[in-house]
Amino acid sequence: MMDYAEWQFLTRLDVEIQNLQRTANQILKIVTALQTTEGKIMATVQDVVNEIASEKTVEDSVVALLDAISAQLTDVKAQLAAGADASALDAVIASLKQNEDALTAAVTRNTPAAPAA
């Protein structure tokens, strides 16, 4: 048979175990919430990484285009200095206009609409 002191000790022990279980459940809820948040953050980080890579590709393309235009203009300048007619310059201007139109269309197509006021 159990005496009063043992019963009291076991009762306190049971209360402490219940408190520990409640604390463990609270910690589990927090960990679950953190895991969910971490998943969302990681998805957002990956979206940012993907967007940066996309922007870098676009920027590299624009730089290559500008380098090509610069080379064309340098070539036309040399041709004009050598006495060539202005038709080479007209071709470069037409190419510039075509590239400008393509860039304008791409920017317009990929620019989100302004939010409604």
Measured CA angle at 106 (ends 104, 111), to 5 deg? 95
pLDDT for 117 equals: 64
**35, HSE (Cβ side, Cα atoms, 13 Å):** 6
Out of 18-22, 32-36, 41-45, pick the least confident: 41-45
Rg of the chain, C-alpha, whole Å:
35
Residue 114 CA to residue 14 CA, distance in Å, equals 62
In a domain, 116, yes or no: no
In a domain, 53, yes or no: yes
Provide the residue range defining the domain that includes 76: 18-107
**53 pLDDT above the threshold of 90:** no
pLDDT for 23 equals: 92
pTM: 0.44
What is the domain count for the chain? 1
Under the banding of pLDDT at 50, 70 and 90, the label for residue 18 is: very high
